[in-house]
Structure 1
Amino acid sequence: MAVVTKKKTQVDYAVGDHIVYPAHGVGKIVDLESQIISGMTLELFVIVFDKDKMTLRVPFGKAQSVGMRRLSSPDTMKEALTVLKGRARVKRTMWSRRAQEYEAKINSGDPVSIAEVVRDLHRNAGQPEQSYSERQIYEAALDRLAREVAAVEKIDETAAVERLEKVLRAA
């Protein structure tokens, strides 16, 4: 049986805070709860990721080690948008290696690294088509970045995607 507590935690997150969980993107803390597991009491963040229809419980003590963090500052988002305007830097390595690097950047949760992936995989009209796997990685990165832009700027995700695509087209 879980006993719910409504207090601030030692890592200073509260119910209602939007956070970034690196492997899943932007989520919202909807509850703080205690559960007894194997005779030990664990204090947990209950995080909901609406878009993925997923609920995650993260022990207070693991929040920092898994990379959970607050939303980026407006300055960090500005830096990420500046990265989008830059020239794509596509290495001449095998696609499988680049794909691993892109996935690692996306899962880092760092908006600037995610912006690099979006920039590098973006295709304008008149450029060669993307392979299926390139398109999947591009869309995952764009979606992850758009969710954080939307949360930071308090706009909906569709408007955030349009904003990012407008920046990419202008580059």
Structure 2
Amino acid sequence: MIKVGDKVAYPPHGVGVVEGEEKRQIGDKKIIFFRIKILGKNMSVLVPETVIETSGIRPVLSKEEVEEIFHFLAEVPSDISNKWTVRHRLNVDRIKTGEIKELAIVVRNLSYRTKDKELSYSEKRMFEDAFEKLSEEIALSLGKDIKEIKKKIRKILKEVKSK
């Protein structure tokens, strides 16, 4: 269960901080909503307590998990399909899971692919979106500036050698 002050990832929207709880009367029921301030966007979302577990909301990464992600990003990927349609479908499915490791796979694989061939327009956008979400979560998790985190991730990705 989440509580006020928690740093959370909310896959459809990004990462944020639980700012408060609000009780609202909906019909004959009183429902508790959590207000989550989404970082990097001028918005907050209200999420009913009853759907927290099924909404995909989860705590942001721990410092140990961030280090695992950095190590993972430095690995040479295997099994990247040469067929655009296959790659695209796999990447869309990975992003939809809301899992940070799946997001890291998209970032790593698309970055690696640029070493041999330029990405299509849609793959560039997908990379940028996934890169942004990954950077935001790591920055919030570590309490660091997002520019610093982006620089670190780019450096890691640049150092991955071609096969």
- Range of TM-score over shorter length: 0.7 to 0.9
**In the alignment, which residue of structure 1 is the partner of 2:58?**
69
TM-score normalized with structure 1 length: 0.84
User: Percentage identity across aligned positions?
Assistant: 27
SS across alignment from 2:45: strand
Deviation at 1:58, TM superposition (A): 0.8
Alpha-carbon RMSD across the aligned residues, in angstroms, is 2.0
Q: Whole-Å Cα distance in 2 between the matches of residues 167 and 92 of structure 1? A: 22
Deviation at 1:139, TM superposition (A): 0.6
Q: 2:29 aligns with which of 37, 40, 45?
A: 40
Q: Which runs of 5+ in 1 are unaligned?
A: 1-10
**In the alignment, which residue of structure 2 is the partner of 1:147?**
136
Q: 1:44 to 1:99 in 2, by over 3 A?
A: same
CA contact (8 A) 2:33 2:47 kept: yes
TM-score normalized with structure 2 length: 0.87
Instruction: Give the 5 Å matches for 1:29-108.
Output: 29-92=18-81, 94-108=83-97
Q: Whole-Å Cα distance in 2 between the matches of residues 44 and 28 of structure 1? A: 14
Deviation at 1:123, TM superposition (A): 5.0
Q: Which runs of 5+ in 2 are unaligned?
A: none
Q: Whole-Å Cα distance in 2 between the matches of residues 119 and 125 of structure 1? A: 10
4+ residue runs over 4 A deviation? 123-126
Deviation at 1:101, TM superposition (A): 2.2
| Number of aligned positions between the proteins | 160
Match of 2:49, as an amino acid?
A: F
Q: 2:17 aligns with which of 19, 25, 28?
A: 28
Q: Whole-Å Cα distance in 1 between the matches of residues 7 and 64 of structure 2? A: 17
Q: Whole-Å Cα distance in 2 between the matches of residues 42 and 126 of structure 1? A: 51
Q: Whole-Å Cα distance in 1 between the matches of residues 159 and 69 of structure 2? A: 15
**In the alignment, which residue of structure 1 is the partner of 2:118?**
129
